[in-house]
Amino acid sequence: MKRLFCTFLALVMVLSCVLVLGSCNSGEDEKKETDPPKPATAPEGYTTYDNGDISFAYPSDWTKNEGSTTMLVNKSGKGNNITVVYEEKNEIYGEASDSELEKLMKDSISVTGMSISNFKRTKTKNDYSDIIKLTYTLSASGASMKQTQMIATVGDRTYVVTVTETTADQTLVDNVFNTFVVLK
């Protein structure tokens, strides 16, 4: 009986050691949670825009023009472009219902003589922030263009990255969206 008890005790000690050693690590899991995200790797033919708060990839042969609160990249002659703007923190993009946000967008665009159709909002998330994606078609005087917006709040700023397509380019939209990273 004593021998059975000793064998049982030894087995319990071995299993305890295995469990303890198995739960130990070098701290890499904890490090992953505290490391800020890095800009995504740009696909071939693209370069990375990084302002310290957000990053995304855009075609490397496009021209980049930066202002104090805006950045525009485009390629002469094609008409497609990417615009980055920020405003004071604005939660309306995430808090309003889809129909409320669509009405707000339609009302604000209508003053320009344009209209919005095919409105869709998608909410997604990375490790540090909610990202809202809006897609819609703008129309005026018989012409139309598709716009896709990635919206994220970083600190006290809300960034709106808009891809405007006068010529359909789903690869452009996919590359910008798939490489969009909130860095803080």
Give, for 22, the enclosing helix (H) or strand (E): helix 2-23
DSSP 8-class letter at 36 = P
Residue 29: partners with Cβ closer than 8 Å, 6 or more residues away? none
Q: What is the pLDDT along the chain (184 residues), one digit of tens a residue?
A: 444 333 333 333 333 333 333 444 445 444 455 677 888 889 999 999 999 999 999 999 888 888 766 677 777 566 788 999 999 999 998 899 999 999 999 999 889 999 999 999 998 876 556 789 999 999 999 889 999 999 999 999 999 999 998 888 899 998 898 889 998 8
Per-residue CA distances from 144 to 62, 80, 178 (Å):
22, 12, 25
pLDDT for 66: 80
In angstroms, the CA 151 to CA 124 distance is 10
pLDDT for 149: 94
**To the nearest 5 percent, what fractions of the chain are helix, strand and coil?**
30, 40, 30
pLDDT for 99: 93
Per-residue CA distances from 146 to 76, 113, 163 (Å):
18, 16, 8
- Please state the length of the chain: 184
Model pTM score: 0.75
